[in-house]
Amino acid sequence: MLTIAICDDENKILDELKTSVEEILRIHLKQGKILLFDSASDFYEDYNKTPIDILLLDIDMPDKSGMELAKEISLAEQDIVFAFVTNQEALVYQSFECHPFAFLRKDYLKEELESTLLRMIDTVFSKAQTYSFSYRGGINKVLIEDIIYFESDLNYVKLVTTKEIYRYRETLSNLCELFHGKKFLRIHKGFLLNMNYIYSIRQEEVELTNHTVLPIGRTNREAVKNQLFRYLRGTSL
């Protein structure tokens, strides 16, 4: 069963989010336990006592902000899939350094929450999913969640993961089809990126959490950037 935590200093928002999450779980036949926290400090005291899969985290809280909490306990490294929830849309860029799964705007929760929560649930369940490929005369497997990006290299691809780099015979077009709908986006004719590893987006490039910088292709550049921003904001691609 999923454990979903909601942290917000406004009780009204807590109640509304709880009701919305319960309804989404009911409609999509998902089982989940919901925990409520009215401050970042309360969450901090409790988070290592109860395993949490998903966290909806307010940014603007009086005792400790959501960003401060995310940095302090490295939520992304604790294997918690978390999204920031805020009224301050301008903070979306600043939030990238905390590596949130998404950025939800309180004024648009009705439009954004359901699709984002379902993607977060899929991510939790997909952590054990693997990708298999032929490598050095055998079959190798890597966790899909560990894949940072694929890079085209003539008749080969370079697979960059959080642990190793592989080079094997494959085409980026085939990989685009295989990973369609799994948080991967072709940002350039030579790169297929796992959007979970975005650190920042600039005019012509994307910086990743491992500080690698990849180009955004000239063709459809604005469309690609819009898709990246929509993903981070929690709207569907």
CA distance 14 to 37: 8
CA distance 101 to 116: 9
Domain-by-domain residue ranges, the chain?
2-126, 130-233
- Residue 220 neighbours by CB under 8 Å, 6+ apart: none
CA dihedral 186, 192, 196, 200 (to 10 degrees): -70
Asked if the model's pLDDT at residue 17 lies above 90, the reply is: yes
What is the structure's pLDDT at 80? 86
CA distance 61 to 216: 35
CB atoms within 10 A of CB 141: 10
237 confidence band (pLDDT: 50, 70, 90)? very low
Within 13 Å and on the Cβ side, how many CA atoms surround 164? 7
Asked if the model's pLDDT at residue 214 lies above 80, the reply is: yes
Q: What percent of the chain has pLDDT over 70?
A: 95
What is the structure's pLDDT at 153? 93
Cα separations (Å) of 170 from 51, 84, 160, 164, 223? 38, 37, 14, 17, 26
The third-level CATH classification (topology) of the domain covering 2-126 is Rossmann fold (3.40.50)
Q: Are 160 and 142 in contact, with CB atoms under 8 Å apart?
A: no
Q: Taken in order 201, 142, 162, 92, is the CA torsion positive or negative?
A: positive
CB atoms within 10 A of CB 56: 28
Mean pLDDT in the chain? 88
Which of 83, 121, 112, 99 minimizes the C-alpha distance to 7? 83
Which of 100, 113, 130, 123 minimizes the C-alpha distance to 53? 123
What is the structure's pLDDT at 40? 92
How large is the average pLDDT for residues 99-109?
A: 89
Domain 130-233 has CATH 2.40.50.1020: yes
128 confidence band (pLDDT: 50, 70, 90)? low
**Helices of type H across the chain:** 11-27, 40-46, 66-72, 92-95, 109-126, 172-178, 221-233
219 or 75, which is more confident: 219
Cα separations (Å) of 195 from 9, 119, 147, 188, 191? 29, 12, 10, 13, 12
Tokens of 165: 């780099």
Cα separations (Å) of 231 from 26, 113, 195? 24, 12, 8
